Amino acid sequence: MSKRSMVLAAVCGLVLSASLLSPSLWAADAAASETTDPAGVWTWEADYGGGLVHSTLTIKADGGTLAGTYKNDKDTYPLKDASIKGDKLICAFFLPIDGEDTKIQLEGTIKGNELNGIITADVGGDSLEFDWKAERALQAGQVVGVWKLRVVGDDGQVYTPTVKINKKDGKLGGTYVTTQIGSFSLKHVATTKDTLEFHTTIEFNGNELELKYSGQPDGKKLKGTLQYEIAGNTGEADFEGELSPEKAGEEE
């Protein structure tokens, strides 16, 4: 095992059973879920002929049922007939135009945190069609919970730390847990437009070890890069994660 891999082994927790964490099992888990998770806040800007409109589509999933709202610069409207099949999202809302409720239908294909498709409307007997390109805006509440991570070292070794993220008094925080050297407070937890970041610093063989994770959540999945530094030596590793039903602690 290389020196870099030894560091990863210590901070992430060595694999207890390679068979339990084999790539084939992870692939099987992914294949078992054929339907893309559409939940979240989708945003986009477009000119529909009367100037730039800022739009927000909020979707909540409760079992097999979807619900939510569409919001423009002025008003909010409830969604109707929202559904997801595979990676295709279909939903609609009614917009008052010239005193009549006009059905606006949105159809698009979800790929990660991007959504592409068309918006159609029948206005005054004219069928209108617009391109639709939206991005999922990551919300803090979407990352709260227990993330089971899978870190792949440069020699192919696999490690399984756990990150517990909570929200208290409006701020994200949490702990980083390894099987070998215990748990440590997260120094930095933040969400950007589509990225979750969490950092921690721990003591390892008399040195400070800095761990910086950055990944893109896709529903209950997480994928990204770990950067680490110890005694002037730096390294990088890919990681994946899955949100567990287990609770991380107090939430707001």
Q: What is the pLDDT of residue 152?
A: 86
Give the other-Cβ count within 10 Å of 45's Cβ: 10
- Phi and psi based region of residue 175 (left: phi greater than 0; alpha: psi -120 to 50; beta: remaining): beta
Residue 206, pLDDT score: 86
How many residues would you count in the chain?
A: 252
Last residue of a domain, one of 106, 122, 137: 137
251 assigned to some structural domain: no
The residue from 73, 103, 137 where one domain ends is 137
Other beta carbons less than 10 A from residue 219's beta carbon: 20
Residue 85 maps to a domain: yes
**Identity at 67, one-letter amino acid code:** A
pLDDT > 50? residue 13 = no
Q: What is the pLDDT of residue 190?
A: 92
The closest of 163, 155, 171 to 211, measured between CA atoms, is 163
Nearest to 178, CA basis, from 200, 163, 164, 161: 161
pLDDT at residue 249 in the model: 56
Helix (H, G, I), strand (E, B) or coil at 231: coil
pLDDT tens digits for range 204-213: 788 898 999 9
Distance CA 154, CA 29 (A): 24
Average pLDDT over residues 133-150: 89
**Percent share of the chain, pLDDT over 90:** 48
Are 18 and 44 found together in one domain? no
Q: How many domains does the chain have?
A: 2
Residue 70 has pLDDT above 60, yes or no: yes
**pLDDT: is 94 or 97 the higher one?**
94
Query: Are 156 and 169 contained in the same domain?
Result: yes
State pTM to two decimals.
Answer: 0.58
pLDDT for 30 equals: 40
Q: In this predicted structure, which of 6-20, 51-65, 137-151 has the lowest mean pLDDT?
A: 6-20
Classify residue 250: in a domain, yes or no.
no
115 touches 89 (CB < 8 A): yes
Residue 247: pLDDT band with limits 50, 70, 90 = confident
Predicted pLDDT at 51: 83
Measured in degrees and rounded to the nearest 5, phi and psi for residue 30 equal -65, -40
Give the domain CATH number at 22: 2.40.128.30
What is the per-residue burial (b if ≥16 Cβ within 10 Å, else e) of 142-178? bbbbbbebbbbbeeebbbbbbbbbbbeeeebbbbbbb
Q: Give the whole-angstrom CA distance, residue 141 versus residue 216.
A: 15
Range 101-121 average pLDDT: 93
Q: Would you state the pLDDT for residue 94? A: 94
pLDDT in tens, 19-58: 333 333 333 344 334 678 898 889 999 887 778 889 999 9
Domain range enclosing 128: 40-137
**Residues linked to residue 199 through DSSP beta bridges, in sequence order:** 188, 212
- The 10s digit of each residue's pLDDT in 167-195 is 988 889 999 998 878 899 999 999 887 88
Q: What is the distance between the alpha carbons of residues 163 and 243, in angstroms, rounded to a whole number?
A: 10
Looking up residue 105, the CATH number of its domain turns out to be 2.40.128.20
